[in-house]
Structure 1
Amino acid sequence: MMRVLEFFVALIIVALIGVVAGVVMPGHGHVERSLVIGKDMRQVYDVLDNLRRVPEYSVLRSYDRNTKFSFSGNAYGPGAELSWSSDNEKVGNGKLTIANATPSFDQITSTTKTASIVWNLDNNWRGQDKHFTLDLERQGSRGQLTEVTWSYDVAYGWNLVNRFANLYIHGDPDSFVDVTLNNLQNVMATVPNIDYADLIPYIVQTQQTPVLLVPTSIARKDGLEGFEAATSKAVAQIQATAKKLGVNVTGPRVVFTTNYGDQTYTFDVAMPIDNSSLTVNGQAEQLTPPTPPALDPLAAPAESSSSSADADSAPLAVDSRDRYGRLVVDGNVRATLAFGGPALKGVWNGTFAGVPQTRDMLKAYAQTHGYAFDDVVNRPYNIQTKIGDNVETYSQFEIYLPLSNAPDQTPEQAAGIKPPSLEEEAPASAGSAAAPASASSVAPASSSEAPAGE
């Protein structure tokens, strides 16, 4: 009997020790890791203030590559949500929600020193008020580095079992922060170092449109004069072919960029027409969208970007199809259906020299905001909407980056940020490719129609 009594007394003592230990343990847990990333703060901020790229750099997929992710709420900033589910117990089910971001994205400038973003966490880890805090600090002699301090905080309250969980905070929570932060650095390494702070892009829905086009190329050393000569020649060919086919040109010149190489710029010059059904050599032909060329395993690899240009410009029989499935209608003139689907749109006011820079800005912006694109299959293009002398008036180019997966609006659109009008800007230097503070903005929403409507 005494042994039984001693046993129960021992249990009570152990329980009391456990209760006392739980009471004296902290009521909250905290773990943090820091890493310096070689990118400007605005780019790092944009990646972290939306959740569209989290599946790429979070540790969850390394535990279970079949983890399913779904987005809800806002596309960017506070209110954006990411949920996941997995049969793997280590991953389980959970949700991240961006709770706040300070300052807001439109206040992140080259002089901003710090920023902070908070993600609320809902998963099977013990505790309440679980959240990640991502503190950004600008570093480097030129301010082009960003230190990211990623911390995890949790409240345990008076739940003694949860308080004991603090002993294991350096398990899954610590691993999540450490691995995810390192993966974030790898994702940021894929984003080019391009300053797009002055860009105000919009997402627009483009309409499929029949076009006539001419593949061509120039040597980069020929500059703007070579570009204008090549495009003028192509436009003349297109206009002559349109007259021969009995169709009307309905809009301004469009330039599709195939390859902006170090030595050669390869591109297509196109113009929209008013009919998607053409009669060629007495045969009625219905135009179709271009398709990626089939890979020939027996074909020798191209030696340079000029090889592709030569293949595109090689003489083909009229009424045949080129390797992209475009209809050959007259000599070097092809016909196809262009555009269609969402595109990220920006505007450059100045000479054509600023168009490649704006195109690169759009690509970097799309990468940091998680907009999917393939500029090989769906090539970026630009439309010259206004012709100026760049002394008294600007020329205006609309640049489009086709997207395959994107929300309905950019943060700038959702916030109602209005870019300045063309009349408010002074002309750029004729040989300059650097954008004035507002020159890389897009046209107001009322004029951001799809190319087919222009």
Structure 2
Amino acid sequence: MTRLLELLVSLLIVAALVVVVGVLLPSHGHLERSVDVPNPIRQIYDSLNTMRRFPDWSPERRLDPLVTMKYSGERLGPGASVEWSGNQSVGKGSLTIASSIEDEQVKMDLDNDFAGVNKTYTIDLVPAENGKTTKIVWNYDVDYGWDLFARYAGLYIHGKPDANVQTALANVSAMLASFPNVDYKDQDIQVSEVTGVPVLVLPTKSPRTLDEVAEATAQAVTRIQAVMSRAGLTQNGPVRIVTSNWGDDSYAFDVAVPVNSTSFSLDGSTQQITAPVQTDMVGDLDAQPAELTLGQRDDEGQLYVADNVRARITYSGPVLTTEYTGSPAALPLLRLQLKAFAETHGYFYSEMNGGRFWDEVTATSEEGEETFKVYLPVEP
């Protein structure tokens, strides 16, 4: 009986010590990690101020490549949220942007199986004095309150929570390195919708100089106008330049002229202009005829008209767009800015076929200065 009492007293002493130590342990946990990156600060801020890039920097994906993710709330800023569900190592959780200060800070509320409550990521952006790099400072904070088990678990904050923060930072750094390193902060870029229109198109290529591109464009427009006249069509909007390939020495592009009708008659045949239509011959070079004739489809599914001129209905859907007044020499930079904006905001795009950049001259001043509008088709 004495030994039993001694055992009970020992257990009570141990329990008391556990409680006393637990009470003395911190009720709040904090850790901080950082990394320096060379990207413009607006790129970094935009990439973190949306959950659409979360799959790219998510620590959870490292633990479970098959983890499922679901977005909700806003696309950008406070209210933007993502939920995930994965294997036993990942579990279930969510991340929601709670607040953000442009180019300075993004704060996220974290809900997962880590010990504690009020778990947050606070990401501060600190530009270097030389202006060439930005330090991303990633803070993790958690409250344990009077939950003694959570306080003891806080002793291991430098385990999985720390590993998650370091993985997120490494993934963000790698993600940013894949973006075009251009600053679009001062360029007004909008998300809008466009509706497809019928166009006559002539594939064109020229050396990559302003004068030669302008001359090739003018010659292509002249040829298209001649075909338009034969088909009884008239121009119905500004000429579009659709980029195919911006090479080191040459520039391949389509010159597209909007027309006033989706049908026309040529050489006694009535044709209907449609969106590119795939055929069995598309992509099969052996099946392509040596020379296309009126009504046949080329390898992009466009309707052949005459004199190498094609017809199609243009892309319909969401686009990124921006305007610029000045020299056309700035157009390649504008295209890169749109591409970088799409990357940081999580918009998917393809430069193949309907997803290619296009630009239009929307105005010309009395001094001959041109205003350009540049478009990049994207997926929501």
Sort the TM-score into its range (normalised by shorter chain).
over 0.9
2:119 to 95, 115, 130: 130
Normalised to the residue count of structure 1, the TM-score between the two structures is 0.79
Alignment partner, residue 45 of structure 2: 45
In 2, the alpha carbon distance for the partners of 1:246 and 1:379 equals 29
Q: Which amino acid aligns with 1:139?
A: A
Given that 2:232 and 2:265 are in contact with CA atoms closer than 8 Å, whether structure 1 keeps it comes out as no
- SS of match in other structure, 2:379: coil
SS, match of residue 90 in structure 1:
coil
Corresponding residue of 2:158: 170
* Structure 2 CA distance for aligned equivalents of residues 69 and 20 of structure 1: 42
Q: Is the 8 A contact 1:280 1:319 kept in 2?
A: no
Between the aligned partners of 2:243 and 2:337, the Cα distance in structure 1 is 15
Which residue type is aligned with residue 286 of structure 1?
Q
Report the counterpart of residue 10 of structure 1 in structure 2. Answer: 10
Partner Cα separation in structure 1 for residue 263 and residue 210 of structure 2: 35
2:239 to 212, 237, 253: 253
Cα distance in structure 2, aligned partners of 1:270 and 1:297: 24
- Counterparts of residues 301-320 of structure 1 (less than 5 Å): 316-320=292-296
What amino acid does structure 1 have at the position aligned with 2:328? Answer: F
Q: Name 1:276's counterpart in structure 2.
A: 262
State the alpha-carbon separation in 2 of the partners of residues 276 and 5 from structure 1: 97
Match of 1:186 among 148, 162, 174: 174
User: Which residue in 1 is equivalent to 2:197?
Assistant: 209
Q: Which runs of 5+ in 2 are unaligned?
A: none
TM-score in terms of structure 2 length: 0.93
Q: Which runs of 5+ in 1 are unaligned?
A: 109-114, 300-310, 406-454
Question: Can you list the C-alpha shifts for 1:307-350, whole angstroms capped at 9, x where unaligned?
Answer: xxxx9xx9532322111011110111100111201000101111
**More strand as a share of residues:** 2
TM-fit CA distance, 1:297:
10
Deviation at 1:129, TM superposition (A): 1.0
Tell me which moved more, 207-216 or 268-277.
Answer: 268-277
Q: What is the distance in 2 between the residues matched to 1:354 and 1:231?
A: 17
> How do 1:72-83 and structure 2 match up within 5 A?
72-83=72-83
Give a deviation string over 1:16-62, Cα, whole Å, max 9, x none: 01101100100011122111112122211111111210111111112
Matches of 2:113 and 2:292 in 1, distance apart?
63
Instruction: Give me the CA root mean square deviation.
Output: 2.1
Match for residue 107 of structure 2 among 106, 118, 137: 118
CA distance in structure 2 between the partners assigned to 1:318 and 1:344 by the alignment? 34
2:379 is matched with which residue: 404, 409, 417? 404
| Structure 2 residue 372 is the aligned partner of structure 1 residue 386 | no
Render the CA deviation track for 1:275-312: whole Å, top value 9, x for unaligned: 2233454444333323789656999xxxxxxxxxxx9x
SS of 1:371's equivalent? coil
Residue 272 of structure 2, aligned match among 260, 281, 286: 286
1:282–1:171: structure 2 CA closer, same or farther, 3 Å change rule?
A: farther
CA apart distance, 1:399: 0.4
User: How many residues end up aligned between the 2 structures?
Assistant: 376
- The letter of the residue matching 1:10 is S
Task: Report what 2:96 is aligned to.
Answer: 97
Deviates more, 1:7-16 or 1:263-272: 7-16
* 1:228 aligns to 2:220 (yes or no): no
